Amino acid sequence: MPELVAGKAVALSTRVTRVLAPNPGFMTGPGTNSYLIGTHDIAVLDPGPADESHVEALLAAAAALGGRIRWIVLTHTHQDHAPAALAIKARTGADILGQSPLPGDPAQALIRADRELADGDTLATDEFTLRAVHTPGHVGNHFCYRLEEESLLFSGDHLINGSTVVIIPPSGNMADYLRSLEKLTQQDIAVIAPGHGDLIENAQAIIQFTIHHRLAREAKVLSKLHPAPQTIDVLTPQVYDDVNPALHPVARYSLHAHLIKLRDEGRVHEGDDGWRI
């Protein structure tokens, strides 16, 4: 696989170049992947954090391709994926495409889309066709994008390499997330270009694995619930006893999302003293 080095432009195909942002971390892995699509009229997909060196790296990569940045395409507006859009727009005049931030999520960047996208919308040039696939779940305004000429899916934070994504209510919704995964099983997808980590070659197998993993975790949640109520803090080490305890503070968010889904389906009850079957 092409190396993941911050600031280095790596050609993934004749149409796609990846530039890794210098923001490695617990939640971002090696960093956020920004992608340049096209070589003449260029779309930057997920420009990343508001880091000046990363903005310069993206502008330099576009110049090296001999093109100009015409569009900035957002999978979603979280702080590690979107804020650099403002600096790139100021430098290039590019339009921002995606969905503007939703209320109730403190991690959203303060960015407004110039073109609000809907499911199935396309950005088409002589070089590429990028189709928007609305995939709420990680957050309500999340989109994946399929590069039709290559059956390649830019997955943002819907699917990442090496881990499963965290679903954080209220902006994150487990029922929506599972529906969005099922939606992708009906798409022509051969390769996934994730928001974090390297390319995922066995796309449909990973999608099916992720669905299975989430449903298996849901079944484990149900198996740990009792007629007597339990709090999320009590349930987390039981439901995630196969996960490093250092990750439990993050895992509790996804557990909460599972419980909300089960509550809305009438399968569990939420009370002031906790959750019960």
Is 1 a domain residue? no
pLDDT tens column, 81-121: 999 999 999 999 999 999 998 887 777 878 999 999 999 99
Domain containing 262: what range? 225-276
pTM summary value: 0.94
**Bond preceding residue 170 cis, omega within 30 of 0:** yes
Residue 247 CA to residue 164 CA, distance in Å, equals 12
List helix spans (H) across 43-114: 52-65, 84-92
Residue 264 CA to residue 147 CA, distance in Å, equals 35
Is 40 a domain residue? yes
Q: Which of 34, 65, 69 is nearest to 51 (CA)?
A: 34
Q: Are residues 83 and 131 in the same domain?
A: yes
Average pLDDT over residues 199-205: 95
Is 15 a domain residue? yes
pLDDT tens column, 172-181: 999 999 999 9
Average pLDDT over residues 122-143: 97
Residue 9 CA to residue 16 CA, distance in Å, equals 10
Average pLDDT over residues 182-201: 96
Question: For the chain, what is the domain count?
Answer: 2
Is 207 a domain residue? no
Q: Are residues 255 and 170 in the same domain?
A: no
What pLDDT is stored for residue 2 in this prediction?
56
Average pLDDT over residues 40-57: 97
Is 4 a domain residue? no
Q: How many CB atoms lie within 10 A of CB 2?
A: 12
What pLDDT is stored for residue 146 in this prediction?
98
Is 156 a domain residue? yes
Is 215 a domain residue? no
Is 218 a domain residue? no
Q: Are residues 166 and 118 in the same domain?
A: yes
What pLDDT is stored for residue 69 in this prediction?
98
Q: Please, what is the angle between helix 203-224 and helix 232-239, to 10°?
A: 130
Residue 53 burial (C-beta neighbours within 10 Å; 0-12, 13-18, 19+): exposed
What pLDDT is stored for residue 50 in this prediction?
95
The total number of residues shown for the chain amounts to 277
What pLDDT is stored for residue 1 in this prediction?
47
Residue 200 CA to residue 192 CA, distance in Å, equals 5
Q: Are residues 181 and 241 in the same domain?
A: no
Percent of the chain topping pLDDT 70: 99
Q: Are residues 73 and 124 in the same domain?
A: yes
Average pLDDT over residues 186-200: 96
Average pLDDT over residues 207-224: 97
List C-alpha distances in Å: 31 to 4, 128, 142, 246. Answer: 9, 26, 19, 20
Residue 165 CA to residue 36 CA, distance in Å, equals 24
Task: Give the residue from 149, 171, 202 where a domain finishes.
Answer: 202
Q: What is the mean pLDDT of the chain?
A: 95
pLDDT at 198 over 80: yes
Q: Are residues 189 and 145 in the same domain?
A: yes
